[in-house]
Chains A and B, each alone.
Chain A
């Protein structure tokens, strides 16, 4: 194909694109205006009101925000807990998800069964999951401490308290969360199928071994989905809640009392919808700032569609 020919038809398309962009995006755009805008803006409005989930909201200006910022010690504790969670769980989750996907991309007998088994924790009831975690992490009779007991004896140390230890509890919940890393695994697996076979064939001819192929081809071409899971991990991480609700009830000593948990309590238990909404908008701002920073990593993502 000649270069000239290509550019002319490309520029023709570019002109259409302004209009086409809106047409293609219209389902989501219309949905945003009709179904999304009102509830979102309403929650912003509620954040400036006193609203007990019954009766009419009363405008109180910035009082909710002021109370949260200047006279709410738990607000800051919960924010710190959440930041800790996000900064550790996101990279760890990425790592485990990628490893699992690479492992499960093998062409061995019964791989479908393994993939399904590793995906199971994303499907089973959370009650069943919590029992598994207890069974593993319980400080006295849990499997992990039993396996580690020779090491504890060797160094003459106390067995780790895991979720019962305020210093370790957040980390323990992050480890427990890794059981659902299979969720990101299927996204990686899907992406791996989009990598042109020709690349591997060419690499093989150049004498690259399996490990080199992973480093040079698979991983770079997986970056779009790694980036996706990274951004989504941050957004979801800031809203972490369920696992603490079930495993630790926010304890010990509010060490796993996350922002989302506090927001839930404000709304459900304190009937304080105004402050819960204010918390939601503060969370939105924090998440947005961190996400915008994370989005700058986009330039390291290798999009085959953007390469010349």
Chain B
């Protein structure tokens, strides 16, 4: 929507450019606000639930708003568990997962997108096929495998595979699509200048696909940040537990503390939301030929 000519056919000749833009923007705002309300409801529910007393929880949300907001719940959620230890553990896993995924996915994606090598197309299908097996059925064999290597009880099963394309099929495919979408003009001039594939990869592909790399990092971050199952299965030492796993401790059989659960869940969500907000800022400018050639 670069130009404001969308309503060309129907536009009133008396309106100035500025007025037309105003009308268009107001319309877009109206549509977005209406939709945003529906999209926000679950978050609001979590928020208000986090502020309730246990007795209010049992009474339900006939009144959505808690009478006496228990801000205390946020403090309790942070202090009844070793919150900062969990946070540190989450950050460690996320750091390596993002790094590993960026490393293995970009390189492999380049091979699938830009290089001709025997077996490439078959392996591409194999890569897609690895995503078609429901994860549950390979869980036990994987567990046995890590047991054989002696990695059970360490963080390694949750770190090392990322450097070897573990769980990266999705990102490899995604980046392949982006690499293939980079205009040929941009790579060819480099080839003419005598650049090899590593140079093209580092100095043209990676900088040009920054939005895609941000997307990959963000999605990896979110997956690892919110994943409780991997840590549940592989981290036997509670001192290694992550936020997502550690905060599930509020869920017990009979007396699930929804208030604390939601307070904790909001705290876990916040970094993701903030990161998303920051990341999307980079999604505003298109690439230009002129900027890179020089």
Which residues in A have some Cβ–Cβ distance to B below 8 Å? 1, 5-6, 9-10, 13-14, 16-32, 34-36, 38-40, 42-43, 46, 53, 102-103, 105-110, 112-125, 128-129, 131-132, 135-136, 179, 182, 186-187, 189-198, 200, 204, 209-211, 213-214, 221, 224-225, 227-228, 231-232, 235, 238-239, 260, 263-264, 267, 273, 276-277, 280-281, 283-284, 287-288, 291-292, 295, 303-308
Contact = CB atoms under 8 A, between A and B. Distances in A.
Contacts of A273: 137, 140
Interface string B106-132: 011011111111101001011111111
A304 B280 contact: no
A124 to B, nearest CB: 4
Interface stretch (B70-78, B87-95, B173-181, B232-240): B173-181
Given A116-B273, A124-B46, A288 B184 contact: no
Contact of A43 (B128, B133, B161): B133
Interface in B115-157: 115-118, 120, 123, 125-134, 136-142, 144-145
Contact of B276 (A102, A103, A119, A307): A119
A280 B108 contact: no
A189 B132 contact: no
A242 to B, nearest CB: 12
30 contacts: A6-B188, A24-B110, A25-B117, A28-B104, A29-B165, A31-B166, A32-B127, A103-B32, A110-B29, A112-B280, A123-B272, A125-B265, A128-B45, A129-B42, A132-B41, A182-B39, A186-B280, A192-B286, A194-B211, A197-B287, A200-B286, A210-B3, A213-B3, A224-B181, A231-B128, A260-B134, A277-B137, A305-B114, A305-B180, A305-B187
B42 A121 contact: yes
B40 interface: yes
Contacts of A32: 126-127, 130, 165
B109 to A, nearest CB: 9
B57 interface: no
Query: Which 10 residue pairs are nearest across A and B when measured between Cβ atoms?
Result: A21-B117, A31-B164, A28-B165, A24-B111, A42-B141, A128-B42, A27-B104, A39-B141, A190-B211, A209-B5
Contacts of A186: 215, 218, 276, 280, 283
Given A43-B138, A116-B273, A120-B39, 11 more contacts: A13-B197, A17-B115, A120-B42, A120-B43, A124-B42, A129-B42, A193-B285, A209-B3, A260-B134, A304-B180, A305-B181
Contacts of A5: 192
B275 to A, nearest CB: 10
Given A114-B36, A186-B218, A276-B136, A31 B181 contact: no
Given A120-B40, A292-B125, A1 B8 contact: no
Given A27-B164, A112-B281, A6 B191 contact: yes
A238 to B, nearest CB: 7
A25 B42 contact: no
Nearest to B291: A197
Contacts of A20: 111, 115, 117, 197
Contact of B273 (A120, A192, A197): A120
Nearest to A33: B164
Contacts of B4: 210
Interface of B: 1-6, 8, 25, 28-29, 31-32, 35-36, 38-43, 45-46, 103-105, 107-108, 110-118, 120, 123, 125-134, 136-142, 144-145, 161, 163-166, 168-170, 172-174, 177-184, 187-189, 191-192, 194, 196-197, 201, 208-209, 211-212, 214-215, 218, 222, 226, 262, 265, 269, 272-273, 276-277, 280-290
A302 B74 CA distance: 50
Contacts of B8: 209
Given A6-B192, A43-B141, A210-B1, A27 B108 contact: yes
Contacts of A9: 191-192, 194
Contact of B283 (A34, A42, A189): A189
Contacts of B169: 28
A35 B161 contact: yes
B141 to A, nearest CB: 4
B285 to A, nearest CB: 6
A207 B140 CA distance: 61
Given A27-B163, A105-B1, A193-B283, A118 B189 contact: no
A193 B191 contact: no
B141 A197 contact: no
Given A280-B133, A305-B180, A198 B103 contact: no
Contacts of A193: 211, 282-287
Contacts of A239: 132, 134
Given A117-B36, A194-B211, A187 B174 contact: yes
Q: Among the interface residues B4, B164, B182, B197, which one has the most CB atoms of the partner chain A within 10 A?
A: B164
B286 A263 contact: no
Contacts of A119: 276
Nearest to A182: B39
A213 B132 CA distance: 37
A115 B104 contact: no
A21 B178 contact: no
A190 B281 CA distance: 11
A195 to B, nearest CB: 5
A5 B42 CA distance: 60
A224 B177 CA distance: 5
Contact of B2 (A189, A200, A235): A200
